[in-house]
Structure 1
Amino acid sequence: MPRKLRMGMVGGGKDAFIGAIHRLAANMDGQIELVCGALSINPTIAQESGEMLYLPKDRIYLTYDEMITKEAALPADKRMDFVTIVTPNFAHFAPAMMALEHGFHVVIEKPITFTLEEAKKLKAVVAETGLTLCLTHTYSGYPMVKQAKAMVADGALGKIRKVWVEYPQGWLSKLSEREGNAQAAWRTDPKKSGKSGSMGDIGTHAAHLAEYITGAQITKLCADLNTKVEGRLLDDDGSVLLHFSNGASGVLMASQVAAGEENALKIRVYGEKGGLEWAQMEPNTLIIKWLEAPMQILRAGANYTDRLSSFATSNCRTPGGHPEGYLEAFANIYKNFTATVQAKIDGTTPTKEQLDFPGVEDGIRGMAFIDNVVASAQSDLKWTEYKI
């Protein structure tokens, strides 16, 4: 008999931002229920957060290892099906590895781990167990991003020549990490965030978006990283020249000191026949610019099945003109992950549209992007071969 998937959560307590986003997204389609959690390393916050979410007292855990061990010992019809990990970067690998080793599927915030080596270890366990790992590169969940990908794959733009992708934010324009901003504190701490700041946090989103839409992989890069705010320990600004496996060249910019900007992720892709443009702050619109025809504007909408790809329309939730945004894109990631896991449980085959969500390979490429950008920025060579 069909049932909801049972979710456990590591991190994401009442003092966190992203945990609530995950819970809203997971709940949007009514296919998932939160049944347990180890919601904070602070025992008081963990307990209070679990109570606020009305979790059973015996399934409010104080550590992730306690949660995974005790959930694995429960009967199959009671235990969680998967774990969502929404901790800071340095605390991704251990709970993910333990969950996989105990037979649980995993959803994990990006970047997937603290190091590339850790990501490769997760890949090995995923391959060995056959379990599903989903990485929440949210922006690939937008319908018009999926439409852009489908058009490139269908050859509508011809051979791709140029990619511009940028992600400017302004929220770290001051030394906020020393002014009580908890999000800024861990994201700018190399012991918790990793070897890169802006490129690790938002540059990875831009790189993933470029590879996702074009279907090509970065093969070479030339990076410049900067720390603009005095006293900061990691980069807060950077630019990267890119070469792709399909012969295209590109430019990637990520900055968290672009004062006044919010989350202005934008990508432009140009081929022989025309180009496309998508902006995260106007997500329902995809602009197509033709070489020999007037510009075309495509809009997201579940009623546009005659003019949008199945990948786009299967992730549209409302008729055209009804806004869908960040939460819906996040929910699309969960929806496709859930359908894939449910298919495994039922012994059926998920559709290609349901399989369209980021996974462990995307996580490895994200960690490789960070390593290669930092190596290039520290090198005197113009081009750095992309190593994984």
Structure 2
Amino acid sequence: MNRKLRMGMVGGGRGAFIGAVHRMAANLDGQIELIAGNFSSDPEKSKLSGGDFYLDPSRVYSSYEEMAKREGAKPPGERIDFVSIVASNNLHFPVAKTFLENGIHVVCEKPMTLSLEEAKELKAIVEKSGLVFALTHNYTGYPMVKEARAMVKAGKLGRLLKVVAEYPQGYAVTNLKEQENTKIGSWRADPKKAGVSNCMADIGIHAENLARYISGLHLEEVAADLNTFIPGRVLDDDGSVLLRYEGGVRGVLYASQISTGDENALHVRIYGTEASVEWHQEHPNELIVKFADQPRQVWRRGNSYNGPEAQKNTRIPFGHPEGFIEGFANIYAAVTEAVRDSLKGEFKPGTYDFPSVDDGVEGLAFIEATVKSSAANAAWTKLH
């Protein structure tokens, strides 16, 4: 197939941060072009946003329903190949369902749906459709995260014992009135749009997913203490969670949006009987490797000693910073491979390195279990 993939987008219009990130990442390898979208629930804003991106006005839609129906009715050589969903949480499920039912592959922002019930229903829809579905847990796209995962899979850490994941931010340590025009003060703090959680559904789920991606472990139970520190908020802005993984591995997860002075300090540590690995999102080109009987080592991205997984996802030579946009781009590169295979009739579900609908289900199970546990005074609560 000698052409670029055709991308559509729902959400991500004027003033939206994450939509711009997706567009930059999708464009990075020159394999994808944005040709259509419903960029806002406001038809006029959607139209103006389409103009910003120099799109054909006939491919800028007033609603996602219209977009899915009209794009799905076009012949394969003209329709969009996939849609990226970057709207608020409450729209993820209906938008994904609508496009899948119209035969269009889907890339979706996290959390996958508003509830675990919706997540399970969407999984059934994806499996029935036979289409590509990817979830943009972007931190799984970093080369040194993939290096850490490869080390765990190869047994270099020995038997796993402990998982520690942290995601502190400080941007929401203010009152609601001051934040009313920002994400924390608008839809992220509204249960009808955000779901049962704010902090855990926004960043706690990233920490849980990244720990699971690197360790390969699945959670069995959680004991959670979620808090709402700022008066006027309905949903959590902080939380601490004890974790019980399969095989007896234990863990701790802390996510917070009121950790004053922190920016985007996602950290993951995986401890084994032979060694441990430690990765910090704000210093993504380094992986710290620690041994019981050797000096600690710092492995850096882009070097010849990196394994094939890290090398495949490294884009520029060592010594040059590489990070946030490239992490998203690595997910889009894997999606491109899957969609091209699908268009050739060679799609092999489960063989591509991007978060899937199964990751989405596990993420919603984690969110709902933490909320249920916290409401029961941090009682141990099973995920399924």
Shared topology, TM-score over 0.5? yes
Describe how 1:109-148 pairs up with structure 2 within 5 A: 109-148=109-148
Alpha carbons 2:275, 2:289 under 8 Å: kept:
yes
For 2:180 and 2:209, the matched residues in 1 are separated by 31
Q: CA deviation at 1:180?
A: 3.9
For 2:348 and 2:97, the matched residues in 1 are separated by 25
For residues 226-284 of structure 1, what are the alpha-carbon distances to aligned partners after superposition, in whole Å with 9 as ceiling and x for unaligned?
A: 11101111110110000111321000000000011110000111100111110000000
Q: What is the aligned partner in structure 2 of residue 172 from structure 1?
A: 172
2:378 paired with 1:377 = no
Kindly, what percent of the aligned residue pairs are identical?
Answer: 51
For residues 302-359 of structure 1, what are the alpha-carbon distances to aligned partners after superposition, in whole Å with 9 as ceiling and x for unaligned?
A: x52xx2221111100011111101000010011111111111212346798x711101
Q: What is the aligned partner in structure 2 of residue 78 from structure 1?
A: 78
For 1:351 and 1:372, the matched residues in 2 are separated by 28
Q: What is the aligned partner in structure 2 of residue 50 from structure 1?
A: 50
CA 1:99 to 1:262, structure 2 compared with 1: closer, same or farther past 3 Å? same
For 2:382 and 2:59, the matched residues in 1 are separated by 48
Alpha carbons 2:243, 2:253 under 8 Å: kept:
yes
Aligned length: 383
Q: CA deviation at 1:93?
A: 0.8
Alpha carbons 2:288, 2:296 under 8 Å: kept:
yes
Q: What is the aligned partner in structure 2 of residue 188 from structure 1?
A: 189
Q: CA deviation at 1:2?
A: 2.1
The range that moved more, 184-193 or 148-157, is 184-193
Alpha carbons 1:339, 1:350 under 8 Å: kept:
no
For 1:348 and 1:5, the matched residues in 2 are separated by 16
Alpha carbons 1:177, 1:188 under 8 Å: kept:
no
Alpha carbons 1:167, 1:203 under 8 Å: kept:
yes
Q: CA deviation at 1:383?
A: 1.6
TM-score (norm 2): 0.97
The range that moved more, 92-101 or 354-363, is 354-363
1:92 partner SS: helix
Structure 1, unpaired ranges of 5+: none
2:14 partner SS: coil
Q: What is the aligned partner in structure 2 of residue 362 from structure 1?
A: 359
Describe how 1:315-354 pairs up with structure 2 within 5 A: 315-348=313-346
1:68 partner SS: helix
Computed over aligned residues only, the root mean square deviation of the Cα atoms, in angstroms, reads 1.5
1:183 partner SS: coil
TM-score (norm 1): 0.96
Q: What is the aligned partner in structure 2 of residue 268 from structure 1?
A: 269
For residues 115-139 of structure 1, what are the alpha-carbon distances to aligned partners after superposition, in whole Å with 9 as ceiling and x for unaligned?
A: 1111111111111111011000010
Describe how 1:192-207 pairs up with structure 2 within 5 A: 192-207=193-208
For residues 136-190 of structure 1, what are the alpha-carbon distances to aligned partners after superposition, in whole Å with 9 as ceiling and x for unaligned?
A: 0010000100110110010001001011110000111012565443312111111
Structure 2, unpaired ranges of 5+: none
Q: CA deviation at 1:381?
A: 6.3
Q: Partner amino acid for 1:324?
A: E
